[in-house]
Structure 1
Amino acid sequence: MDQAVREAMDSFIQKVLIQSQEAQIQLLVDFDPEWPSLCYLQEENIGEKVRWQPVKQQKPATWHDFEKALDLTLHPSISAFYQCYWSDNLPAKHTSGKLELIQVWNEADFARLQQNLIGHILMKRRLKQAETIFFALTEEEDFILSINNSSGEVVLEQIGLEPTKVIAPDMASFLLSIEPVIAA
């Protein structure tokens, strides 16, 4: 697993927790017993806001079936990114704008992410474009941040088109360049 990405994610999560604590803002999510997660810090009635926080994956989710189905080896940095924490999506800001890091809440969410990524990869292949793996949403509709699976570069791409801009040379340096956005 890409240790630099793991350390950068640890650093970002620490910033999230410190920032929310300093601002005295709790991380809240609607409670859903049908959507269990180790992230819940409390359990309430369905739909009520409850406290949560990112939790390290003790047994990282696996990409084996995903890679086998697509006859593809994922870039180590994207594997490491999605295997670090169970978490709700995390808002952040970068010099190029606001974004939301896509995270996985539980194993079912990880399976759903893999299905979405399979569709994304198949679309890229059909369009004869470089294979990318998305990991963040941007403020601009239809634009996502992805990893170029061959080079490991963080790129900005409009869905269905080739990436238009390299944002960072690698995932670890990108993660170290962003700041969390904690809102009440």
Structure 2
Amino acid sequence: MKSTNNDLTDKLWHFAKCYIESYQHDHGHLPVAELDEDWPSPCQQGLFTAQESAGQEPAQQILWQPVPADGNLCFNNIESALELELHPDIKSYFTAFHSDPLDAVCSEGQLSLLFSWNEDDFERLQENIIGHVLMKQRLKQRISIFFAVTDEEDLILSLDNETGAIWVEHVGREPHKKLADSMAEFVAGLTPHTQA
């Protein structure tokens, strides 16, 4: 399995920086998420004070931005449980930083890049990856790992675990359209999408 880890991490951080700059340009502040006191994140950058809607009590919101993961994130437990080595690029992708999803545009349209919001979310992500891989094995399909969703409900973007290529696939089916030979190539071609 060919890895482009350093290049990929650099490209992910470059995209995240461009996303934040674009969001600030379009909205005048960092991205906003609803405050959930039971689901804190190192991404949180303080409370966001919005103007009140007509007669409605606004939900408390926070400003956020991607922040480096602390180095404790790893996939050893997944690889041990599945007796499968995950492609180095998918491990680099999901351990580069914590973030809310980052919206982007590629040649195929709009998508949301998935990341973990906090360490508990990373554990939940791993459980979802295990479920996805087990489904692929049960259906006797090649192993892929999802990393992005689209505005079509069952259409995801995934990395082929053997080759590292990026594909479009319907959940439960074989990937059907190749988008890039590597994650680094794919991320380099993305444009942030920060307008409502």
Shorter-chain-normalised TM-score: which range?
Answer: over 0.9
Deviations 1:109-147 (A, max 9, x none): 001011111110000000000000000001222110000
Instruction: Evaluate the alpha carbon distance shift between residue 131 and residue 28 of structure 1 in structure 2; reply closer, same or farther with a 3 A threshold.
Output: same
1:5 to 8, 15, 30: 8
The match for 1:109 among 121, 127, 133 is 121
Quick one: which of 17, 35, 39 aligns to 2:39?
Answer: 35
Q: Is the 8 A contact 1:26 1:51 kept in 2?
A: yes
Q: Deviations over 1:71-115 (max 9, x none)?
A: 011101100000011100111100111000011000110010111
Q: CA deviation at 1:36?
A: 1.2
Give the deviation of 1:17 after TM superposition.
Answer: 1.6
Unaligned runs of 5+ in 1: none
Question: How many pairs does the alignment contain?
Answer: 184
Q: Which runs of 5+ in 2 are unaligned?
A: 49-57
- Which of 123, 134, 156 aligns to 2:135? It is 123
Larger Cα Rg: Structure 1 or Structure 2?
Answer: 2
Choose from 137, 152, 161 the match for 2:173. 161
> TM-score, with normalisation over the residues of structure 2?
0.89
| 2:66 pairs with 1:54 | yes
Task: Give the alignment's TM-score, normalised by structure 1.
Answer: 0.95
| Structure 1 CA distance for aligned equivalents of residues 43 and 107 of structure 2 | 29
Q: Tell me, in whole angstroms, the C-alpha distance in 2 between the residues paired with 1:161 and 1:21.
A: 38
The answer on 1:26 being equivalent to 2:38 is: no
Deviation at 1:34, TM superposition (A): 0.7
- Matching residue of 1:85: 97
Following the alignment from structure 2 to structure 1, what is the Cα–Cα distance between the partners of residues 36 and 152?
Answer: 30
Q: Amino acid of the residue matched to residue 135 of structure 2?
A: M
Let me know the Cα RMSD of the aligned residues.
1.7
Runs (4+) off by over 2 Å: none
Are the aligned partners of 2:47 and 2:61 in contact in 1 as well (CA < 8 Å)?
no
1:47 offset after TM fit, Å?
4.5
